[in-house]
Amino acid sequence: MTTIADPKAPRAARPGPGRRSTRGNTELYGWVFMRVSGVLLLILIFTHLWSSLISGEGISQVDFGFVAGKWANPFWQVWDLTMLWLAMIHGTNGMRTIVNDYAEKDSTRLVLKSALYLAFTVVVVLGTLVIFTFDPCPAGAPMDLLPDVCSDLP
Amino acid sequence: MTATLEKTAPGPGSAESGLGAVPSFQVTLRVQRYLPTDAGDLPAGQDVGAPTPGEYRWDEFTLTMHGTDRVLDALHKVKWEHDGSLTFRRSCAHGVCGSDAMRINGRNRLACKTLLKDLDLSKPVVVEPIKGLPVLKDLVVDMEPFFASYREIMPFLVTTGTEPTKERLQSAKERERFDDTTKCILCAACTTSCPVFWTDGQYFGPAAIVNAHRFIFDSRDEGAAQRLEILNDKEGVWRCRTTFNCTEACPRGIEVTKAIQEVKRAMITRTF
């Protein structure tokens, strides 16, 4: 006859890898950031769409010169920069969450997340550079491709 | 009521049995079978039609059941009269012990609380083990990962100071605060309905969070900060995507997703 274990006996530790504790506020801040940036992006994006496509002459006004004019103004520089960064962090964090949810293998997760963070870095660095170093009238460029403002320059 | 029931099933037996007769009908039960690879030799008489070790298989049984029968009664009928090797858990058989949670027609329910007449009987009733936990045999799963998460959130009263000589008093309003989450019977229907848990077995799961909620919002308990710390984990409440599968699955009608959100809110108000 087999005996069963004493229910009050001290329990042996569970074999195999248990849950590694990953406590901390990282996920909490991530969660809050998604909500806050979501609301901010609504304002930023819809104002951006309105100012570019609806106000003034509407969609027909958008050309190289229009963008150049906008980025000559520090207000729109900061606006577009905020939009770029918030949208990229918001989107990347969302994708990170989806990868965590659906990729079961650690190796798959590593590959997908590396690709994600690489894409994030490229877009954010490139975008930031463009917003701040944008020159509407580069020296030596053919005049017919440049906006009218450039012909007034000495 | 009786007249209505007789009208819906005018079987050949209804005329002679008369008033108060319970209608009977044919039910096809489609059960997922699994035999572990280390099962060894089956006892004589039980090896007939038993599944091949290590493989899943579907078995169909056609049974004559009654209007008052539940899925559990159908499983009993199979085990007692058709195939004694069918394995499933059940204890009280009345929706209190939480042993017989299973996937019935794609939804997590208790077999003892699901009346056959409420299901679509024109098609076979599909019965599978709950998802996301290792299947041991047929409908029996290894509940240990589930209980490990439960133990981790400290499901017991934590207090400091001298114990009162009488009971620890609490107002009706304070009791009301966590009333919903006291109903949990640990059947695992919620946790194994959660898509996050399916792909990530490390996630604490709705049931553990519900039971943490039961103590976090108890005015007599002093371990709330510790429990919030435990659940403020990469695999804690922040993995919840509010798909509401758990709320839908709970046989006790606990608003599981709401409880998880309340724990999230407690963490946020604590941090900011």
- Is the dihedral angle over the CA atoms B225, B226, B230, B231 positive or is it negative? negative
Chain A's closest residue to B231, CA to CA, is A23
B268·A23 Cβ contact <8 A = no
**Cα separation, A55 vs B258, whole angstroms:** 43
Query: Of B88, B86, B87, B84, nearest to B45 (Cα)?
Result: B84
What are the pLDDT digits (tens) for A69-106?
Answer: 888 889 999 999 999 999 999 999 999 999 988 888 88
Last residue of a domain, one of B126, B141, B156: B141
- Which domains does chain A possess? 29-136 (1.20.1300.10)
**Cα separation, B158 vs B156, whole angstroms:** 6
**Cα separation, A95 vs A90, whole angstroms:** 9
Chain B's closest residue to A19, CA to CA, is B202
Q: Which of A19, A100, A112 is the best mutation test for B, with the most CBs of B within 10 A?
A: A19
Do residues B260 and B169 both lie within one domain?
A: yes
Residue B10 CB contacts under 8 Å (≥ 6 apart), including other chains: none
Q: How many domains does chain B have?
A: 2
Q: Could you tell me the CATH number of the domain that includes residue B74?
A: 3.10.20.30
Q: Could you tell me the CATH number of the domain that includes residue B257?
A: 1.10.1060.10
Say whether residue B132 is in contact with chain A using an 8 A CB cutoff.
no
Q: Are B53 and B36 in contact (CB under 8 A)?
A: yes
- B268 CB neighbours in chain A (<8 A) are 28, 32
Last residue of a domain, one of B141, B160, B195: B141
Do residues B127 and B167 both lie within one domain?
A: no
Do residues B61 and B152 both lie within one domain?
A: no
What are the pLDDT digits (tens) for A95-151?
Answer: 999 998 888 888 999 999 999 999 999 999 999 999 988 887 777 777 776 766 676
Do residues B113 and B150 both lie within one domain?
A: no
B196·A14 Cβ contact <8 A = no
Q: Are B125 and B116 in contact (CB under 8 A)?
A: yes
**Cα separation, B254 vs B234, whole angstroms:** 25
Say whether residue B267 is in contact with chain A using an 8 A CB cutoff.
yes
Predicted ipTM > 0.90: no
Do residues B136 and B166 both lie within one domain?
A: no
Q: Out of B195, B229, B272, whose CB is closest to A23? A: B229
Q: Give the alpha-carbon dihedral of A75, A81, A87, A90, to 10 degrees.
A: -110
DSSP string covering A47-60:
HHHIIIIISTTGGG
- A25 CB neighbours in chain B (<8 A) are 232, 271
What are the pLDDT digits (tens) for B67-99?
Answer: 999 999 999 999 999 999 999 999 999 999 999
Do residues B104 and B183 both lie within one domain?
A: no
Can you give the residue range of the structural domain that contains B66? 2-141
